[in-house]
Amino acid sequence: MRTADGVLIPLRLAGPVAGPPVLLLSGGPGFVNYLPDGPAAGPARTIAADPRGVGASGGRPHDLGRALADLEEIRRHLRLGTWAVVGHSAGADLALAYAVEHPASVRAVVAACGTGVQNDRDWSAAYHAAADTEPDLGIVYSAQLHAALLTSWREWIKAPDLLDRLAHLDVPVEVVVAGGDIRPSWPLRQVAALMPGARLTELPGVPHDLWHTHPDVWQGLVASAATRD
C-alpha cells in the first residue's frame, strides 16, 4: 500500500480470504512487526505491516496521530468496513488508542501485555529493575521511531477527557495480563475495570513474549478477536 503522502507500507495477509479481518499490532514502539501470521485454517484473516520508518516500510519517525492515520489508510485500502485489532505490548496501547479515536472502524480489541494509560514512576522502576531478566529476541527496531512514538503517546494520555472516552467506549475489549510478565499489571486491571465493554483475561505463568513462547495461546487470542461480536 502507498499512503496518501507517498510512503510505501507493504502488507502481510494470511489466513482464509473470507475470514474475519484481524489487524496485528506489534510492540516497541518502533519495532518491526514480529507477530506471527494467523494459521491458514483460520478463523482469522490476519493483516500485519511494519510501522512506517522501520523494516520493510518507508517513511520517517512520526507521532501517534500519524500512526493511527496509517492504520485507517490500511483499512480503507483493503476496503474493510470494520476489523478486529490485536495488539501486543506497545501495540496493545496503540490498539486502545485506535479504538478510542476510530471506534466506528473497530469490531473488537484484544490488548495483550500493554502498559495501560499511565506514565508512573513506580511502574517504570519495577520494569527497569527486572528488564535484564527478559530474553533478547533480536527484534529489529528504530531508536528514533521508538523515542518519537513514546513521547507522543505520553502526550496523548494526558488529554483531560481520555478516561471519560475510555469509560464510554462502545467496543468489546479483552485486556490480557500475562502472569509471568515483569511489567506490573495494575494499569491493565484499571483500564479493564474502567471500560464497560471490557473483560480481563489472566494467563498464569505466561511471559511477556507469549507470542513466541506459547504460540497456541497467542493464536487463541487472535481467534477470539476474530469471532467476537
Element of type H or E holding 86: strand 83-88
The string of DSSP codes covering 100-169 is HH-GGGEEEEEEES---S---HHHHHHHHHHGGGS------B-HHHHHHHHHHHHHHTT-TTHHHHHHT-
Residues 37-66 have pLDDT tens digits of 999 998 999 999 999 999 999 999 999 999
pLDDT digits (tens, 9 = 90+) for 125-178: 999 999 999 999 999 999 999 999 999 999 999 999 999 999 999 999 999 999
Average pLDDT (8-22) is 97
Digit-coded pLDDT (tens) for 67-116: 999 999 999 999 999 999 999 999 999 999 999 999 999 999 999 999 99
Q: Note the pLDDT of residue 228.
A: 85
- The answer, yes or no, to whether residue 229 has pLDDT greater than 80, is no
Contact between 194 and 13 under an 8 Å Cβ cutoff? The reply is no
How distant, in Å, are the alpha carbons of 10, 12, 13, 209, 221 from that of 40? 20, 13, 10, 22, 16
CATH class assigned to 12-227 = alpha beta
Cα 17 to Cα 35: distance, rounded to the nearest angstrom: 19
Specify whether the CB–CB gap between 157 and 187 falls below 8 A: no
pLDDT at 197: 85
pTM above 0.95, yes or no: yes
Could you state, in order of their start, the residue ranges of all structural domains in the chain?
Answer: 12-227
**Cα–Cα distance for residue pair 16/103, rounded to 1 Å:** 25
Q: What is the pLDDT of residue 198?
A: 96
pLDDT tens string 174-224? 999 999 999 999 999 999 999 998 999 999 999 999 999 999 999 999 999
